[in-house]
Amino acid sequence: MTRPTRQRERERDTESEGEQEKGARTCPECASETIVKDADRGELVCDDCGLVIEEDQIDPGPEWRAFNHSERQNKSRVGAPTTQTMHDKGLTTTIDWKDKDAYGRSISSKKRSQMHRLRKWQERIRTKDAGERNLQFALSEIDRMASALGVPRSVREVASVIYRRALSDDLIRGRSIEGVATSALYAACRKEGIPRSLEEISEVSRVERKEIGRTYRYISQELGLEMEPVDPKKYVPRFCSELELSEEVQSKANEIITTTAEKGLLSGKSPTGYAAAAIYAASLLCNEKKTQREVADVAQVTEVTIRNRYQEQIEAMGIH
């Protein structure tokens, strides 16, 4: 008789590992699709007629067993996953900056000076040529700017991939590393649907706005990055949060943008200015008035832009 623990293991294996095999394999005896993987015996068994379809399977899992998450973490012998945000993809070793041993005790002064020398040489040998040093600098710049902008990890990964593609296609020649790195980050923000305006990007960068825009257009064209126009509605939640406006204002601003965009008013307009004007109009309609200066400061546009877009929107909406 099968023990309950063995039965549970078989059911767990069936759920986690046998899903694909169910759809892909059938029993040659009874044509059943209920195929069970028995991890203890290394067999594939038909659950209806009991036929052993395959035996002596290779177990790709570890030889140890763990019964909870902490035990699994302690016994695991693999490192962190590879990442595009580091020039060596995170495959080289690192020496911790803490001057402590494995037990958390402070090390002697002689050992401290030795570890200082080892850290210095570790940093030197991680990059073998000027190309790797430039890549290391560019990726660290992307990481710094992404942290300042508060964008998620996925954006940093995409920006690093775009920069690596630009480097491999020799698009860096004649341009500054900071300019291409900033343009890659701007492109990644648009790709991931987390838009940041050129003004926000230039604030955290060491490059002027004009150069960022010029470099961005060049690398997006050369790399064939298919960029769709930025939807102004993606700016609305962030701007409303900074202005401390209610959900009602946010919903009304989205409604204004949708209605006026359908009438063709969005064509050729800045999405940040368009979103700011919609928020200003919505705040007036919902009796949560904000001044044009307050909205302009948050959206980083001029008051004139807000006034012009605001007049166009209320005329299109038929509001007087």
Burial code (b: 16+ CB inside 10 Å, e: under 16) for 307-316 equals: eebbebbbeb
| Amino acid at site 44 | L
Confidence of residue 143 (pLDDT cuts 50, 70, 90): very high
Could you read off the pLDDT of 82-99 as tens digits, one per residue? 788 887 777 777 777 888
Q: Does residue 121 register a pLDDT over 70?
A: yes
Q: Tens of pLDDT along 144-172? A: 999 999 899 999 999 999 999 999 898 99
Handedness of CA 163, 169, 171, 172 (dihedral sign): positive
- pLDDT 10s digits, 207-230: 998 999 999 999 999 998 888 888
What pLDDT digit, counting tens, does each position of 64-82 carry? 778 888 888 787 777 677 7
pLDDT above 90 for 184: yes
The pLDDT, as a whole number, for residue 277 is 92
Return binding residues: 27, 30, 46, 49
- The tens digit of pLDDT for each residue in 37-51 reads 877 777 888 888 888
Mean pLDDT of 251-270: 88
Residues annotated within the binding site for Zn(2+) are 27, 30, 46, 49
Q: Which pTM does this prediction carry?
A: 0.66
> Is the CB of residue 180 less than 8 Å from the CB of residue 234?
no
Kindly list the distances between the CA atom of residue 267 and the CA atoms of 22, 27, 270, 281, in Å, as whole numbers in the listed order: 52, 60, 9, 19
What order of strands is seen across the sheet that includes strand 43-46? 35-38, 43-46, 52-54
